[in-house]
């Protein structure tokens, strides 16, 4: 393979993201098999889940995740599933899961969350799932340096805290993941961009393509089209 292979990242709506490298394809927070903008045939070698599904569908089918809280869609049943904290190496991909929460009350209101740091083709991506709080120094040490942050927008995490969280992580590329209803997404995104100091919304891209040599010098917010929308 070419040493300059680029990492590709696509967004499927809410916190569902697909990352492709020369070694493997990693899918974060895949939808259930019977609902949502799944692009229902989404495939990958590794699947991560940041939190249990809030509304399990009674007709959903598939293999259960490790903690038994989420059904994998059929197209990902053969994938290696991660839904807990720890350090992993799968198909030459290094993945670290760091325990976080979906609120700022240590999970008392909305439960746990796992932030996954994935190293693909020399790019370190952190997928924050549905995180609801800022990070402690200990958590930042566990996470280590990151290049790209996929951050929820429009959920429990306020836009102000979202921008603070980006600053904490010191990432160069920011990918907002809209987790609110479509009717509220425009306002939520506008508030987040304002907090990030972005005066004009960047043009939508179908996917993010990056290699270490193409990382921007300044923090750059990238807006991705929602793939697989129905």
Q: What is the pLDDT of residues 44-64, one digit of tens each?
A: 999 999 998 777 666 666 677
Residue 3 banded pLDDT, cuts 50, 70, 90: low
Q: Is the pLDDT of residue 123 over 90?
A: yes
Tell me what pLDDT residue 4 has.
64
Separation of alpha carbons 149 and 126, rounded Å = 5
Tell me what pLDDT residue 168 has.
98
Q: Is the pLDDT of residue 77 over 90?
A: no
Average pLDDT of 114-137?
97
Separation of alpha carbons 142 and 190, rounded Å = 31
Average pLDDT of 64-80?
78
User: Residue 28 has which token pair?
Assistant: 């974060």
Q: Is the pLDDT of residue 210 over 70?
A: yes
Listed in sequence order, the residues at least 6 apart from 136 whose beta carbon sits closer than 8 Å to its beta carbon are none
Tell me what pLDDT residue 57 has.
65
Average pLDDT of 182-186?
88
Q: Point out the least confidently predicted range of 32-41, 65-74, 130-139.
A: 32-41
Q: How many CB atoms lie within 10 A of CB 62?
A: 17
Walk me through the domains of the chain, giving residue ranges and CATH numbers.
7-221 (3.60.15.10)
Strand pairing class (86-90; 93-101): antiparallel
Separation of alpha carbons 101 and 193, rounded Å = 24
Q: Is the pLDDT of residue 90 over 50?
A: yes
pTM confidence score = 0.93
Average pLDDT of 25-41?
71
Q: Point out the least confidently predicted range of 37-41, 50-54, 87-91, 123-127.
A: 37-41
Separation of alpha carbons 165 and 133, rounded Å = 8
Q: Is the pLDDT of residue 39 over 70?
A: no
Decide if 5 contacts 21 (C-beta within 8 A).
yes
Report the alpha-carbon angle 25-107-178, nearest 5.
50
Tell me what pLDDT residue 58 has.
65
Task: Count how many Cα atoms sit within 13 Å of the Cα of residue 136 in the half-sphere of its side chain.
Answer: 9
Q: How many CB atoms lie within 10 A of CB 227?
A: 18
């Amino acid at each position: 393979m070419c040493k300059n292979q680029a990492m590709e990242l696509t967004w499927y709506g809410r916190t569902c993201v697909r990352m492709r490298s020369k070694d493997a394809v990693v899918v974060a927070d895949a939808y259930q098999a019977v609902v949502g903008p799944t692009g229902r045939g989404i495939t990958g070698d590794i699947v991560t889940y940041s939190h249990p599904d809030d509304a399990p569908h009674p007709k959903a089918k598939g293999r259960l995740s490790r903690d038994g809280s989420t059904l994998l869609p059929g197209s990902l049943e053969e994938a290696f599933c991660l839904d807990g904290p720890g350090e992993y190496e799968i198909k030459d991909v290094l993945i670290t899961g760091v325990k976080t929460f979906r609120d700022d009350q240590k999970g008392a209101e909305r439960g746990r969350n796992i932030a996954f740091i994935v190293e693909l083709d020399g790019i370190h991506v952190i997928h924050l799932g549905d995180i609801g709080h800022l990070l402690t120094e200990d958590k930042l040490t566990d996470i280590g340096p990151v290049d790209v942050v996929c951050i929820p927008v429009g959920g429990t995490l306020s836009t102000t805290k979202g921008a603070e969280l980006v600053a904490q992580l010191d990432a160069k590329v920011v990918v907002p993941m809209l987790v609110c209803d479509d009717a509220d997404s425009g306002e939520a995104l506008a508030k987040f961009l304002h907090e990030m100091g972005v005066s004009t919304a960047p043009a939508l891209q179908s996917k993010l393509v990056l290699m270490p040599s193409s990382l921007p010098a300044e923090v750059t917010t990238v807006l991705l089209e929602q793939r697989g929308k129905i």
